[in-house]
Structure 1
Amino acid sequence: MNRNEEYVMLRASIVEPPQLEYTVTRALKRNGKALRRVRLFGVPVGSLAACFLGFMLLVNLFPPFARACGGVPVLRELARAVSWSPSLSAAVEHDYVQPVGQEQSKDGITARVEYLIVDQKQLEIFYSLDSDRYEELESDASIKLPDNSDGYGSSSGSYGTSNGELRQMTVNFVERDMPERLTLLLDVYQNIYENGGTEPNTREESMEETYFGSHDREPDILAAFNFDLSFDPQFTAQGEIVEVGQTFQIDTQTLILERAEIYPTHLRLDFGYVPENTAWLKGLEFYVENERGERFDPVRNGLTASGDESSPSTVTYWMDSTYFRKSKELTLYIEQVRWLDKGREKIRLNLVTGEHDFLPDGAELAGIQRLDSGNLLTFRAKQYRENNMYCLWNGYLDENGEEQSFSSSGSSYTYQDLDTGEYLDGSTSGFFYETVPLPAAVGLEVWLKPVFTRVTDLPVPVKVPIR
């Protein structure tokens, strides 16, 4: 897997009470087959509530949107399913939807592909699963291209969707354009029981089991479906490339906004790599405005950014699309930049004393918990926007100096102090806690690989004209 496929996924916010300190992590790991591929952590509950409210306002206040959705029951459900995304909501509002209506039934399970939202670079598949025999069906969704090539990444935020309701799969093409057709593969299973039992397994896992236990058991597949999907060329040809070529400086570093790729489903900002810089670009807080003062924000749920093979920099950023707004002028406003300083790509930590090199800005070591299988490192980290958790670390170097990934990780707004037993709540002060496991074989010291090391806040945003 190359860096173009190593998509940087920001974690959604999940606020859990102290007694559920690591239950969220455990639940996510049970769906590990999908998570290993996309590292997608779903939509914040609060955001979902706001989205459904937004849908109701659209239906009641905007007659064109109500007329578009009101006559077709499934289309109404589609509008609800995409209400968290301004780009996809705009696509539905403007009838930018390809109906499919393919249905297959096997072994008491019916799978139905209802709609596609597709353009030159992104595919949204909306499908449903239903059964009179099984409850709480889940699916491992994947795609297969006609030539078996890659150059894309896929994600799904539909874990826990009830039978009969719309599920969603997203496919992003980075190294190539949308093909004329592809095959959707659905492996369907029932995920409410564990270990093949007849009753739900309610036993709470220990921290040792959660972070160091084996979670490789694959679910029993009840039915497998293959749907051949073809795309209407009027959709797959949609997109506009704006060559920008704007060079500017932030914090003595040179950045180049090379182009903006405007598609119906999203907008991509492509930045160039400058070898003379002393730090790699690793993250941005930004927004775009048009000539009418309408604001477009970065994608908050799903794919947010991607890297490049030539450097550790994060060079492409995903955001809400301006496609349906027909904007004549677009301006980028950058409010914060996160850097990985050259020479600080690894940070030493002594697992016995807790001594360490300078940690990334806004982070501190909260505690080291020693278990039989290894150590759990917990770090307190600053939120860089409200209700947002992210990854501090890209992995570590083992005793042989070889790069390793963490077998699992967990993030929470709460943390139990190892010395006092007190539960600390970072949500009220703008912090969260990230826990990563290190196997015992690592030794007395470890070199951690930070995602970034330094943060530059810009009280006055840097303005970059796009067009």
Structure 2
Amino acid sequence: MFEKEEKELEKLNHLYQDLQIPSDFGDQAIMDGIRRAGKIKKRNRQMAKVFLTASIVFLGLVGSVKVSDTMAAFISNVPGIEKVVEVIRKDKGLVAAVDHDYIQKVGIVDSHDGLKVSLDSVIHDEKNLIAFYKYEAEDQNLDIFPKDIILKNSEGEKLPFQMKQGTLWTKNKESLLEIKFPLSSEIQLPENLILSFTFRLGSGEVLEKEWNFPVILDKDKFLEKEEVKLDKKVVVDGQEIMIKEITMYPTVTAVHVTYNSANSKKIFGFNDLQLVDENGEKWNPTPLETEQISENEAIFYLESHYFKKPKELYLTFNTIRALEKDELWVVIDPEKEKVLVSPKDGKITEVVMRNEELQIKLNEKPFAFKKEIFNTLDPIEGQNIMGSMGMSFSSSDHFILYSVPYTATEVQEPIKLKLIDYPATIQSKEEVRIKVK
């Protein structure tokens, strides 16, 4: 019994023994998400801890997952796999992947300079590489966090994949953390690769050495995507939305959508996009829910139903976020701390200058809307805006504050910020049937 799993673990052991690790791996790039946390910490050290803790609480909230007898047997046989299930229990697609033995056990430890880092396991397909890891310092009182987490090839050269989602800290050092690297169809992920970590202390000091983990991706733990062409048009309040196709990966389902450029409103996204089968079972958006391809094209990510194989499947939504195209610009007078132009619904009401930042108030309850509404990568008029934007709120707030980096000059001209998202909604119950194989 369980001879298959024993052979797989034995095979991995031989593979890692044969893999050579270069002694010098070159420079590393700082991840956008960690850089954001660092900027928050610089403004307010306590806020940095709140930022990290909140992400853990958000990902760790609630809910038990009913595991099958197959998974129960698999969990009891593979050491530590129950810790992976604990991390992914809110994503039914990933739970199904583990249930179907779609996970590669790694079990490597790199320990030096008073820090022990363990790479437990990975899940990978054409869309994502997901790794489960943990770390612990010998000094239990030491505040320490990952600084860079990057992928390299077997020669130590940095690969062009950037971590977009993950957890960096947990109070329980026995629990696993999860990191996700979105992959590209244009660049092939090598079979032999290295997952490389650097760390920083709570004081800001960066540890010089690296913690490296050679991984040989198991071809037996790889399944190809499945695609369903749709090209179905949905009209909501006169706005045309084309559902182009749905692509099913073991780790995620991708919904490819385009908007008619002649629409009078800019469509930002869906509030409640779901997949629903004939029994009413639902697959919800993932934390990394949207990839904006162009002004009128986007991909929305839902939990994977790859292993479910329903008899009937529907794509449904009840509300979309959209705003008239002539209301997309917000104009602010930084000298007078005044909002000159904003959407007609009056939700953007106040602005104050504080610590070389413009703090813009949006009257919207945080539990109902947790999106960034400005982005420095979009067209912005005004030469004094530099750096990353941010947002802050608490559970007791009835508004959200958006922070825009701004350095005052003697002559302060009004600046314009383009909205990339906004809590203006259109209600319309829609259902698109998906042909299943």
TM-score by length of 1: 0.72
Provide the secondary structure at the position in 1 that maps to 2:260.
Answer: coil
The residue type paired with residue 289 of structure 1 is: V
2:99 is aligned with 1:132: no
Q: Which residue of 2 aligns with 1:227?
A: 213
Q: Determine the C-alpha separation between the residues in 2 that align with 1:298 and 1:97.
A: 22
Q: Which residue of 2 aligns with 1:293?
A: 280
Matches within 5 A, 1:164-179: 164-176=174-186, 179=189
Q: Which residue of 1 aligns with 2:165?
A: 155
- Equivalent residues of 1:378, 1:436 under 8 A apart: no
Q: Determine the C-alpha separation between the residues in 2 that align with 1:331 and 1:313.
A: 23
Q: Determine the C-alpha separation between the residues in 1 that align with 2:340 and 2:278.
A: 49
Q: Determine the C-alpha separation between the residues in 1 that align with 2:117 and 2:402.
A: 38
**CA deviation after TM superposition for structure 1 residue 270, in Å:** 0.6
**CA deviation after TM superposition for structure 1 residue 389, in Å:** 1.9
Matches within 5 A, 1:401-416: 401=382, 404=385, 407-413=388-394
- Of residues 405, 417, 420, the one that matches 1:451 is 420
Q: Which residue of 2 aligns with 1:93?
A: 99
Provide the secondary structure at the position in 2 that maps to 1:188.
Answer: strand
Alignment root-mean-square deviation, CA: 3.5
Matches within 5 A, 1:55-94: 55=65, 58=66, 62-94=68-100
- Equivalent residues of 1:375, 1:439 under 8 A apart: no
Change (3 A) 1:238 1:461: same
Provide the secondary structure at the position in 2 that maps to 1:393.
Answer: coil
- Equivalent residues of 2:104, 2:218 under 8 A apart: yes
Provide the secondary structure at the position in 2 that maps to 1:158.
Answer: coil
- Equivalent residues of 1:178, 1:236 under 8 A apart: no
Change (3 A) 1:402 1:462: farther
Q: Which residue of 2 aligns with 1:391?
A: 372
**CA deviation after TM superposition for structure 1 residue 161, in Å:** 5.0
Q: Which residue of 2 aligns with 1:14?
A: none
Change (3 A) 1:405 1:298: farther
- Equivalent residues of 2:151, 2:196 under 8 A apart: yes
Q: Tell me which moved more, 94-103 or 161-170.
A: 161-170
5+ residue gaps, structure 1, are 1-5, 12-20, 32-39, 195-217, 415-424
1:154-197: per-residue Cα shift (whole Å, max 9, x none)? 33213245444322210111453652333211113433xx2xxx
2:435 is aligned with 1:464: no
Change (3 A) 1:225 1:48: closer
Q: Determine the C-alpha separation between the residues in 2 that align with 1:139 and 1:7.
A: 13
Q: Determine the C-alpha separation between the residues in 2 that align with 1:178 and 1:340.
A: 38
**CA deviation after TM superposition for structure 1 residue 433, in Å:** 1.5
Change (3 A) 1:344 1:314: farther
- Equivalent residues of 1:273, 1:313 under 8 A apart: yes
Q: Determine the C-alpha separation between the residues in 2 that align with 1:106 and 1:240.
A: 43
- Of residues 273, 276, 290, the one that matches 1:305 is 290
Change (3 A) 1:220 1:238: same
1:404-461: per-residue Cα shift (whole Å, max 9, x none)? 45544232146xxxxxxxxxx44xxxx4312314332382522122123573332x51
Q: Which residue of 2 aligns with 1:203?
A: none
Q: Which residue of 2 aligns with 1:186?
A: 197
2:101 is aligned with 1:117: no
Q: Determine the C-alpha separation between the residues in 2 that align with 1:108 and 1:267.
A: 41
**CA deviation after TM superposition for structure 1 residue 322, in Å:** 0.8
> Higher RCO, 1 or 2 (CA under 8 Å, sep at least 6)?
1
**CA deviation after TM superposition for structure 1 residue 372, in Å:** 6.2
Q: Determine the C-alpha separation between the residues in 2 that align with 1:454 and 1:110.
A: 44
**CA deviation after TM superposition for structure 1 residue 121, in Å:** 1.0
- Equivalent residues of 1:373, 1:439 under 8 A apart: yes
- Of residues 235, 240, 250, the one that matches 1:254 is 240
TM-score by length of 2: 0.77
1:260-317: per-residue Cα shift (whole Å, max 9, x none)? 1111111110112433333333211211111222111111x3x111111xx3245100
- Equivalent residues of 1:396, 1:406 under 8 A apart: no
Change (3 A) 1:187 1:452: closer
**CA deviation after TM superposition for structure 1 residue 361, in Å:** 5.1
The residue type paired with residue 100 of structure 1 is: V
Change (3 A) 1:235 1:261: farther
Q: Determine the C-alpha separation between the residues in 1 that align with 2:317 and 2:32.
A: 21
The residue type paired with residue 62 of structure 2 is: A
The residue type paired with residue 93 of structure 1 is: D
Provide the secondary structure at the position in 1 that maps to 2:118.
Answer: strand
Provide the secondary structure at the position in 1 that maps to 2:206.
Answer: coil
Q: Which residue of 2 aligns with 1:212?
A: none
Q: Tell me which moved more, 261-270 or 91-100.
A: 91-100
- Of residues 320, 342, 358, the one that matches 1:358 is 342
Q: Tell me which moved more, 289-298 or 162-171.
A: 162-171
The residue type paired with residue 265 of structure 2 is: A
Provide the secondary structure at the position in 2 that maps to 1:465.
Answer: strand
**CA deviation after TM superposition for structure 1 residue 65, in Å:** 3.3
1:82-128: per-residue Cα shift (whole Å, max 9, x none)? 12322222222222111112232323333222111111211111122
Change (3 A) 1:374 1:225: closer
Identity of matched residues, %: 19
Q: Determine the C-alpha separation between the residues in 2 that align with 1:75 and 1:234.
A: 18
- Of residues 42, 60, 63, the one that matches 2:55 is 42
Q: Determine the C-alpha separation between the residues in 2 that align with 1:397 and 1:73.
A: 47
- Equivalent residues of 1:129, 1:165 under 8 A apart: no
Q: Which residue of 2 aligns with 1:434?
A: 401
Change (3 A) 1:108 1:347: closer
The residue type paired with residue 350 of structure 1 is: D
5+ residue gaps, structure 2, are 1-30, 37-42
Q: Determine the C-alpha separation between the residues in 2 that align with 1:340 and 1:403.
A: 27
